[in-house]
Amino acid sequence: MTTPPTVRLANLDLNLLVSLRELLRERNVTRAAARIGISQPAASAALSRLRRHFDDDLLSRHPGGYVLTPLAAQLVEQVEGVCSAAERLFGTGHGFDPSSARRGFTLLVADYTVAVLGPALSAAAARRAPGIELRLRLVRESFSADIGETIRLIDGLIAPPAARFERPELRSTALFDDRWVCVVDADNPVAAGPDPTLDLDELAAMPWVVPFAPDRGMSAAAPMTRQLARLGVEPDIKVRVESYLSVPYLVAGTDRVALLQERLARQVADRLGLVVLPCPGDPGPIRERLWWHTDLDPDPAHRWLRELIVELSATL
């Protein structure tokens, strides 16, 4: 006879969720024990119970330390989402005092957002809520899972508006604006002169660095693809990279060009010897928003987080 899911859940020690999360994060029993606040033997016992439950080693010993087994690698994202949801569930209905709170917030963000907003968010959280843990997970331009379910398991996503976010269970608020610019190496001939500019024909003829482009063609989900389509440019892609922050480093010292968010471009241009040029045509604005699931609306901790992010965005 099959045991009902509710009975199986009732028979589980849910403390093992926290142990599983920290063991998979740290890949070290001693460090995991310190993070949880238990003894090393207790953490070892938890690992033994988890191994029996999953019928898997989870952490496999190698000469350089422990590594995740294939099953453990699959569990990483799931356990993070479940633990975050549990923290929100048991925090709902209580007042939130940031100065004494101990909980985590998980945000999906692009590395561009980390560069632009991350320093202010990290510093403000350290000052105002020293007991909280920020978990910034880098988001790819496409989602393998249902976006509504993805956001339901975290505290929020920072991204421009897109059709996939137009769902009744999602809320959003405006954060900050940016614009697309072109970046080239300072020694590139197109950067010569006192007031250099690019036209669309020059863009179409140049080699490109493009973030989040699949191995073949261009992804309709990627913001860069939409902007190039607006410009009518079919790029000659020489470098594809799963990152915005990497783009300017791959342009420096070459004859390549890239579209980049201006806030990020201005941060690195002088250091890397790049020139920031206006983007010809009409690439469209960048309007970053914070997205979250409606389940989080009554959570005072989440309300504090939303207000903090909006406040900091206004100072950029």
Contact 25, 106 (CB under 8 A): no
* Number of neighbouring beta carbons within 10 Å of residue 37: 8
Residue 156: the pLDDT is 94
Would you state the pLDDT for residue 16?
Answer: 84
Both tokens of 111, joined, read 């590395």
Looking at residue 216, its pLDDT comes to 62
**Could you give the CA distance from residue 248 to residue 252 in angstroms, rounded to a whole number?**
6
The CATH architecture annotation of domain 5-74 reads Orthogonal Bundle (1.10)
Q: What is the Cα Rg of the chain in Å?
A: 23
Residues in Cβ contact with 172 at an 8 Å cutoff, skipping those fewer than 6 apart: 161, 165, 289, 290, 291, 292
Contact indicator for 84, 157 with CB cutoff of 8 Å: no
Question: Is 3.40.190.290 the CATH classification of the domain at 92-316?
Answer: yes
Sign of the Cα pseudo-torsion (72, 77, 81, 87, in order) = positive
Find out whether 236 and 254 touch, Cβ atoms under 8 Å.
Answer: no
- Token pair of 183 as six digits: 């970046």
Cα→Cα distances 46→36, 116, 144, Å:
11, 40, 31
Instruction: Give pLDDT, residue 47.
Output: 87
For residues 148 and 170, the answer to whether their CB atoms sit within 8 Å is yes
How does pLDDT run along the chain (316 residues), one tens digit per residue? 566 555 555 566 777 888 888 888 888 888 888 888 888 888 888 888 889 888 888 888 888 778 888 888 888 878 877 777 776 666 655 678 999 988 889 999 999 999 999 999 999 999 999 999 999 988 865 554 567 777 878 899 999 988 888 888 899 999 999 999 999 999 999 998 888 888 899 999 999 999 987 766 555 556 677 777 778 888 889 999 999 999 999 999 999 999 999 999 999 999 999 999 999 987 888 999 999 999 888 889 999 999 999 999 999 9
DSSP one-letter string for 244-289:
STTHHHHHTTSS-EEEEEHHHHHHHHHHHTEEEEEPPS---EEEEE
What is the residue type of 279?
Answer: C
Residue ranges per structural domain of the chain:
5-74, 92-316
